[in-house]
Amino acid sequence: MIPAEFDYTAPETLDDALKALADGGEDAKLLAGGHSLLPLMKLRLAAPSLLVDLRKVPGLHGIQRENGNWRIGALTPHAALEHTPDLGVVSLAAGTIADPQVRNRGTIGGSLAHGDPASDLPAVMMICEASITLQGAGGQQRSVSANEFFQDYLETAVEPNEVLTEVRIPAYDGWGFGYEKFNRRSEDWAMVGVSALVRKDGDTIADVRVGLTNMGSVPLRAKAVEDALRGQSATADSIARAAEQAAEGTSPPADLNASADYKRHLARVMTRRALETAAGLG
């Protein structure tokens, strides 16, 4: 529980943070809420030489809605998402993260930049087709679609000299949503998590998105389910049939408490349940 030695700085502007990050070299890391990074450091699984703490950088907090989009600052804690129910599936999923202490400190930007496929928000960002804003040295910004953001286990599109500043999410007014997180204890990471968005047109499922948490080295979209269900009638039967394809093409990591086959089974069950809720059948 004692980390290796590291330097620490808390710059007051984004430019200074980017400069500190660049000057710190490849072992410098950004610190947001610290609820992924600090435990790894305490276990000596991570040993950054420098922590650049973003807490004093202005403009990275808050949730705003404009022109049918949500803009969420990178340092917005999970608790703020949880307590903004208009965010729909994002709010629902954020409320399941760990425990209240973690939700008060952990941030959306930190969680996405860490890129843990077992975390709740990454797959949710994918079904929301969120756009993630990255800022590099010199002030240039770029946006990366959440569907292209997560590249491998704990690897994201964030370049070493970039800061994740904002997440933009289209508002899914009128869509139904569901989040089914299966874990042993309420504070645990998802053994499997499934997020769903459903837009109905009468009794037909006009559009549907399904995200899978902890079913591979990156968060996933269950495209086969989406394709199978789009245009179908919104019934328990059609959902159940489509959900059977939830684990197609996945190779989930196994551990002591969950074999890959068990996880695939859970993915099918949780997909059905999340879709039933999202379709208003739950």
* Contact status, residue 116 vs residue 39, Cβ threshold 8 Å: no
Q: In the complex with another protein, which residue's Cβ is closer, 39 or 62?
A: 39
Beta bridge partners of 196: 178, 210
Phi, psi of 167 (to 5 degrees): -125, 130
DSSP string for 180-225: EEE-SSTTSPPSEEEEEEEEEETTEEEEEEEEEESSSSS-EE-HHH
User: Shortest approach of another protein to residue 238 CB, angstroms?
Assistant: 19
Which is it for strands 131-136 and 176-182: parallel, antiparallel or unpaired? unpaired
User: Shortest approach of another protein to residue 82 CB, angstroms?
Assistant: 15
User: Shortest approach of another protein to residue 264 CB, angstroms?
Assistant: 8
User: Shortest approach of another protein to residue 34 CB, angstroms?
Assistant: 16
Nearest to 87 by CA among 167, 143, 158, 142: 167
Q: In the complex with another protein, which residue's Cβ is closer, 141 or 257?
A: 257
Report how far residue 63's alpha carbon sits from residue 19's, in angstroms, rounded to the nearest whole number. Answer: 27
Q: In the complex with another protein, which residue's Cβ is closer, 135 or 213?
A: 213
Q: In the complex with another protein, which residue's Cβ is closer, 96 or 165?
A: 96
Which residues of the shown chain bind another protein in the complex (CB under 8 A)?
1-2, 4-5, 43-44, 182, 184-189, 191, 256-259, 261-262, 264-266, 269
